[in-house]
Amino acid sequence: MDHEWLSVPIGVDADRWVSRRGCRRILAIVHTIVSCQRVLDVIDLVESDPGVQIAFTVAPDVFNRGVRDYLEALGALTISWQQATQERFHLAVAASYGGLSAIHAPLMMMAHGAGHGKMARPPEQGGPIVAEAPVYGLDAHQLLRAGRVLPSALVLAHDGERQVLERQCPAALPVAVMAGDICYDRLLRSLPQRPAYRRALEIGDEQRLVVVSSTWGHDGIFGATQELLPALMSSLPAGRFRVAALLHPAIWAHGHRQVRAWTAECRSAGLILPAPTEDWRAVIAAADHVVGDHGSVTAYAAAAGIPLVCVEGETSRRVAPGTAQELVLQQATRVRPGDPWEPQLRNAVPLKANSIVERLTSYPGEAGERLRRHLYRLLGVPQPGKHRQIAPVPVPRAMS
């Protein structure tokens, strides 16, 4: 564990050494690679403000390995969790839940996936999903500490989540912020960059890109259907198709070397395997087809209008009712194991994107402006200037 204690630009004596005094200090709390990507989308809305200083910290989480290296590669100022829990900040932003009661700051909390899309497990570690379980992240177990509402702002993507919150944790209703889904908005902004993304992925003009999206756990594609990727690679003509695998960052907890070893034959056959730190939205924007499961990426792909097929699995118990994930599983064509892949992909059609979007966000295209307004409200300073448009995600780096 890293116990390094920084004196600049955070700390009781920091004003002696900083070049810009009087900055409002924001703590970006990162639990995992996935939550980091969501937090970065939000932090980007205020990071360029000359009156704001951002510090990142890695919070306790079973999947937080590799997060500090990721932050350092981004050039982020990163302080230890020990220091983060001792300092005071004007605002903290998080997209997961572990350890948040130890932070001394007004707290903005949000989901790190496609809304609050999964049912909670019982408090005991690894307990089974049960029918009476609440929607994860909108329940009193996550939102209350000693009877007190933990967040100062709870970001919700659509009106249905507010209804769930009213049922599960009415005490948190006063802090609910209806902001939309910034991840979806940024994906939408990235779609016009499709040619650049395809060039970076080395997809030929006549080739079709098939993206396999797997969530983590034994009921995701990578865990439950280990034969899918090899079958796809051997079935599709290499001259007309390329295949990419988007593996949830938690899958890489098996070890990067191990995951690459498990996929070595497929990669030798041409599989594109982005690192977990690559922005998956660029790959989805480049895709012609998606093979998905109950994970958030599949729902976002459906909302973007990309034809998809879903793998049948014991997933319905994990998906929260009324969510985009549930609607995708209800409407998508199911993969037929053993049948040729090319006709299955060719016959797949886009789902009704508008109905998927309606379950993702009640305010499409507005998340950046809404979130920025609430960030400055919590900081207690006027919102400066004009809100700039959300940027497309970066072009992927070379990968294999």
To the nearest 10°, report the CA torsion of 7, 12, 16, 18. 60
Specify the residue for token string 């350092």.
Answer: 72
Q: Read off the pLDDT of each residue in 133-138 and give the average, rounded to a whole number.
A: 92
Q: Is the pLDDT of residue 124 over 60?
A: no
**Mean pLDDT along residues 112-134:** 71
- Backbone phi, then psi, for 63, in 5-degree steps? -110, 30
Query: How far apart (Å, rounded) are the C-alpha atoms in residues 93 and 30?
Result: 9
Give residue 269's pLDDT: 95
Roughly how many angstroms between the first and final C-alpha of the chain, as a whole number?
Answer: 32
Give dist(CA 301, CA 307) in Å, integer.
8
The CA distance from 318 to 328, in Å, is 14
Min mean pLDDT across 139-148, 300-309, 371-380, 386-395 is at 386-395
1 versus 206: the higher-pLDDT residue is: 206
Q: Report the pLDDT value the prediction gives residue 323, as an integer from 0 to 100.
A: 94
Report pLDDT for 316: 56
Q: What are phi and psi of 386, to 5 degrees?
A: -100, 140
User: Which residue, chain included where needed, has tokens 């510090």?
Assistant: 55
Q: Determine the pLDDT at residue 181.
A: 97
The CA angle 136-137-143, to the nearest 5 degrees, is: 130
- Which of the four pLDDT bands, split at 50, 70 and 90, describes residue 1? very low
CB atoms within 10 A of CB 364: 17
| Mean pLDDT estimate for the chain | 93
Q: pLDDT band at residue 385, thresholds of 50, 70 and 90?
A: confident
How many angstroms separate the CA atoms of 77 and 10, rounded?
A: 10
What is the band of 202 on the pLDDT scale with cuts at 50, 70, 90? very high
* pLDDT, position 162: 96
3-state class of 111 per DSSP? Answer: coil
- pLDDT band per the 50, 70, 90 thresholds, residue 399: low
Whether pLDDT at 3 is above 90: no
pLDDT surpasses 50 at 167: yes
| Residues 384/61, Cβ–Cβ less than 8 Å | no
pLDDT, one tens digit per residue, over 333-357 is 999 988 999 999 999 989 998 999 9
* Res 137 pLDDT > 90: yes
What confidence tens digit (pLDDT) does each residue in 50-80 have?
999 999 999 999 999 999 999 999 999 999 9
CB 376 within 8 A of CB 174: no
Class of the domain covering 14-184+363-379: alpha beta
Helices (H), the chain: 33-43, 67-73, 81-84, 140-143, 159-168, 182-190, 194-200, 221-224, 228-235, 256-262, 264-268, 280-286, 296-303, 324-331, 341-347, 353-360, 367-379
With bands split at pLDDT 50, 70 and 90, how would you rate the model's confidence at 123?
low
User: Tell me: the pLDDT tens digits for 4-58?
Assistant: 888 899 888 888 899 999 999 999 999 999 999 999 999 999 999 999 999 999 9
Q: Is 400 or 258 the better-scoring residue by pLDDT? A: 258
* Cα dihedral 148, 104, 370, 144 in deg (nearest 10): -20
For residue 250, CA distances in Å to 41, 62, 81, 128, 164 come to 20, 9, 21, 19, 27
User: Fold for domain 191-360?
Assistant: Rossmann fold (3.40.50)
208 strand-pairing partners: 241
Check if 14-184+363-379 and 191-360 are the same fold.
yes
Domain boundaries, given as residue ranges, for the chain: 14-184+363-379, 191-360
Give the pLDDT confidence score for residue 389 in this predicted structure. Answer: 84
For residue 127, pLDDT over 60 is answered with: no
Please report which confidence band the pLDDT of residue 158 belongs to, taking 50, 70 and 90 as the band edges.
very high
